Structure 1
Amino acid sequence: MTARSIIRLVGTVAALCGALGAARAEVSTVRLAKQFGISYLPLTLMEEEGLLEKQAKARGLDLKAEWLRFTGGSGMNEALLSGNLDLAAGGVGPFLTIWGRTQTNIKVKGVAALNAMPLWLVTVNPDVKSIKDFGPKDKIALPTAKTSIQAITLQMAAEQAFGAGQQGKLDPLTVSMGHPDAQTAMMGGRSEITAHFGAPPFQEMELKDPRARKVLDSYDVMGGAHTFNLVWASSRFITANPKVTEAFLAALEDSLRLIRDDPERAAALWIKAESSKLSQGEAVAIIRAPQNEWTTAPKRMLDYLAYMNRAGLVSAKASAESELFFPVPEAAKIGGPKEAAR
C-alpha cells in the first residue's frame, strides 16, 4: 500500500468515525408529552402507528419514543426545565409562559402547531347565561389555573365583559383539574364544580346533557380561529438533535395526512388508544367539524401574547409568530405543504 493510499484510507476512516460520532450525538430515546383529548390526535396517531420511529429509521437512527401523559401545561414545563422531557405539547398559554421565561437561558420555542380549535366554557348552573352571571358559589374547572390557555382566555373574556383591569375577576372561581375529572365532577352533580372550560371531545360530550349549556366560545373571544395546541422544546435539544427533529416533523406530517385522508381510521385508532366512550361516528364528526383545523400553521398566537404582555404575565415580546418557533429544517420540508386540510 502506497503512502497516498494510506492517507486516503485514514481520511475515509476519519470521515466514517466523524459520521458515526455525529449519529451517536443524537438521543436514542426521545421523551414526548401529551395531554387528554382528541386535540392531541396527531400525537396519538404518531404513537399508535410508530410514525416517529419509522421516520427516524429512514434517517439512520434507531430511536425509541417514550410517551408521557400530563393533565396540564405547568407540569410539562417543569419536566422540560428539569431535563426530564424533550418535547412538550399543550396549549398556547403554558407555551408562551415558558417561552417568555427562557429567552435568556435555554430558549424554549415552538416546534410546530397541532391544530386550531374552539374551547367552550360549559356550565350546568341554570342561572348562568353569560360569564357575568357566575357567583361565589360557582367553581370553574380548567387544566391549570391562571396559566392554561383556558385560564388565559377566561381572563381575556373577563376583561372584555367587565372592563380594563378586571381580567382577574373570575380567577378566584377557577380550580385546576384535568379534563376527564372535571367532566365527571361537573356532570355528577355532587361536587362544587358547576362549570368546565374544557376542550374536544369533553365539551361536546357535556353538551349532550340537557342540563348543560355553552356560556363562552374562545373563537368569539379571539375574533376567529386560533391555535389550541402546539409542541415545544428547548434550543439545546433541537440543536443537538437535528435528525430527530426532522423525523418528528415528518411523522407529524404523516399523522396529519392520515387525519385528512382517512378520518374514520384515525378515529378508530384514537378511540382504542384512549378507551373513549365516544362512538366512531361521534369521533369522526369532531375530527371533520369545520371549526376544527388540523394544521401546523399558527393562528392568533400574537393576540394571546399581546394580552399576556399587557397583563404582566409575560415580559418578552414578539412582532411575528415566526419568532415563537424554530425554523423548519430544509430536510423536513420535502414532505410537502405544512398545512393539512380540514
Structure 2
Amino acid sequence: MRWLKNTAWCLICLAAVGLAAISGSARAEVTEVRFAQQFSMGYLQFNVMKHRNLLAKHAQQLGLGELKTVFVTFNGPDMMNDALLSGSIDIASGGMPGLLTIWAKTRGSAQEVRGVSAMSQQPLWLNSRNPAVHSIKDFTDADRIALPAVKVSAQAVLLEMAAVREWGDAAYGKLDHLTFSLSPPDATAGLVAGSGDFNAAFTVPPYQNIQLRNPAVHTVLSSADIVGPSSGGMAWTTKRFHDANPKVYRAILDSMEEASEFIAAHPKETAAFYTADSNGKVDQALMEQLLSDPAFRYILTPHGTMKWASFMYKVGRIKAAPASWKDLFWPELHDRDGD
C-alpha cells in the first residue's frame, strides 16, 4: 500500500511538473514587441498597426495573452542594427542595403538576422538647389549631399550604383566624399531654406516632395532610373527572436498583412495616422496624394532583392551574397512570388 501511495504521489508530482512545463512554454513568448522605424512613409504598416492595435488583435486570435507594442524612430540603419543585436529592439526596418549588410555580417551565427518581409515600394529622389547640377556628372567638390546614413543607407548605395553607370565599376565611390548623414526632416528644412552648408539631399517621401515645393529645388536622380520598381522599406529580426516566439512572429506577419490591406483601402485614414505620428510636420493632403500614386505600393513580397545584393557584393559592401531572395528572409515568407 505504501508503495502504491508513493507511486501515485510521484505520478501526481510528474504530472504537476509536466503541466508547469506546458504552462511555462505557453508563457515563454514575449509579452512586448519593440519595433524600430525610420522617418520615411515606407513603413506605414507600423503606423497602421500602432493606431489600430493590430498586433494585440492577432495575438489574441492565436491564443496569446496581452501583447504590447512599442514604436521608436531611428535615422538610418547603423544604430538600429546595433540596437537589434543588443536586444534593445525586436523588429528593425530600413532599406534593402541595411538588411543585406546585417544579414551578411551575421549569417550562420547565433545572432543571425534575416528579413521578416518587405513593406513598400516607392521612388527615392536626389534633389538639388544648385542650378548648375542637372545630373550626377555636374556635382563638384563645392557640393554636399545630405542622406540618411553614409555608406549603408539605400540612398548611399543608389548614388554608388549611379556612379558605376556613369563612370564604370571602379568609380562606384566617386561621390561618396560629398555625402554626410542627416535625418530627412532636417535635410528638408536645410535644403528648402538654403541655410545649411549643403545644396543637395537624397531623402525619402514625403520629404523629397516637400522639398520640390520650393521652385529653387529640382530633381537630379530617381531610384526608378537605377533599380526600377524595387522594395524599399523592409523589416528584419534576429534568429533568437524568430525561433523563440513562433506565435508572436505569426501575429506580426498577420498584422502587417492586414495593415497593408488597410493602406490600400483607406488611404485617407492612413495619411492621418502618419501625419499624427510626424507631429504635424507633414501635410496630410500631400500624403493622400502620394498614396493615390501607383508608384507607391505596400506589399510584403520582396522585389528587386538580387539587384541590390549583386551590386553590394561586387563593390565589397558585403562579403557574402544570397543565392536567391529566400536566403535573405525567414521561411514564413518563402511561399510568395518574390525576386
TM-score (norm 1): 0.91
Aligned partners of 1:23 and 1:61 also within 8 Å: no
Larger Rg: 2
Corresponding position: 1:46 with 2:49: yes
Corresponding position: 1:254 with 2:255: no
Q: 1:329 to 1:227 in 2, by over 3 A?
A: closer
Aligned partners of 1:29 and 1:63 also within 8 Å: yes
Aligned partners of 2:121 and 2:296 also within 8 Å: yes
TM-score (norm 2): 0.92
Q: 1:260 to 1:338 in 2, by over 3 A?
A: farther
Equivalent of residue 210 in structure 1, options 204, 211, 215: 215
Corresponding position: 1:178 with 2:183: yes
Residue in structure 1 matched with residue 61 of structure 2 by the alignment:
58
The residue correspondences of 1:272-287 to structure 2 (distance < 5 A) are: 272-287=276-291
Equivalent of residue 30 in structure 2, options 12, 27, 30: 27
Q: 1:329 to 1:218 in 2, by over 3 A?
A: closer
Aligned partners of 1:31 and 1:86 also within 8 Å: yes
Aligned partners of 2:309 and 2:321 also within 8 Å: yes
Give percent identity, aligned residues only: 35
More divergent stretch after superposition (273-282 vs 206-215): 273-282
**Deviation of 1:53 (Å):** 1.8
**Deviation of 1:58 (Å):** 2.3
Q: 1:338 to 1:258 in 2, by over 3 A?
A: farther
CA distance in 1, matches of 2:258, 2:14: 39
**Deviation of 1:329 (Å):** 7.5
The residue correspondences of 1:3-14 to structure 2 (distance < 5 A) are: 13=16
Q: 1:182 to 1:199 in 2, by over 3 A?
A: same
CA distance in 2, matches of 1:186, 1:207: 10
3-state SS, counterpart of residue 238 of structure 1: helix
Equivalent of residue 120 in structure 2, options 111, 115, 118: 115
Residue in structure 2 matched with residue 153 of structure 1 by the alignment:
158
Cα deviation, 1:311-336, whole Å, max 9, x if unaligned, reads 01111121210110001189xx9xxx
The residue correspondences of 1:181-200 to structure 2 (distance < 5 A) are: 181-200=186-205
RMSD between aligned alpha carbons? 2.3
Which 5+ residue runs of structure 1 have no aligned equivalent?
A: none
**Partner AA of 2:30 in structure 1:** V
Residue in structure 1 matched with residue 312 of structure 2 by the alignment:
308
Corresponding position: 1:76 with 2:92: no
Cα deviation, 1:7-42, whole Å, max 9, x if unaligned, reads 997787555433321122111222110011222211
Cα deviation, 1:271-325, whole Å, max 9, x if unaligned, reads 1222234443321111121111111111111111101111011111212101100
Which 5+ residue runs of structure 2 have no aligned equivalent?
A: none
CA distance in 1, matches of 2:39, 2:282: 14
Corresponding position: 1:235 with 2:234: no
